[in-house]
């Protein structure tokens, strides 16, 4: 009887230790996941702040006016729109004429090259 109670106590104690170990493992994985989500949240908040700043700049009066004048080709009241028109003739870009190679005449082989040509040597 005494050994039966002792065996029952050891069985219950080992089950409690295994449950504690399982819960500790779950807690560690949840802590890692919490840290990951916190990092992602911080990154998303920074992105949100940057996008809000870009929206504020893009919707400002100065940005709208700049876009209307440059890209939208719009004019304010009292302004005159000027659109450059090409003459229709396109002049080709001149290509420089390459200089002939300079032959080395300081050495005896240089003079022979001048007299006999490149195939004569």
* Residue listed under structure tokens 């082989």: 109
Report residue 82: phi and psi, to 5°.
-120, 120
CA distance 87 to 105: 52
Predicted pLDDT of residue 108: 65
Share of the chain above pLDDT 70, in %: 86
Supply the pLDDT for residue 102: 67
Q: Write out pLDDT tens, residues 79-95.
A: 888 777 777 777 788 88
Q: What is the pTM for the complete model shown?
A: 0.45
């Amino acid at each position: 009887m005494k050994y039966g109670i002792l065996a029952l106590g050891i069985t219950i104690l080992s089950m409690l230790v295994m449950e504690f170990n399982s819960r500790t493992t779950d807690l560690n994985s949840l802590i890692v996941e919490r840290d990951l989500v916190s990092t992602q949240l911080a990154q998303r908040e920074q992105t949100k702040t940057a996008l809000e700043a870009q929206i504020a700049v893009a919707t400002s009066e100065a940005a709208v006016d700049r876009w209307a004048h440059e890209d939208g080709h719009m004019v304010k009241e009292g302004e005159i729109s000027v659109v450059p028109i090409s003459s229709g003739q396109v002049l080709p870009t001149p290509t420089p004429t390459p200089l002939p190679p300079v032959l080395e005449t300081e050495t005896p082989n240089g003079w022979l090259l001048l007299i006999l040509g490149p195939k004569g040597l």
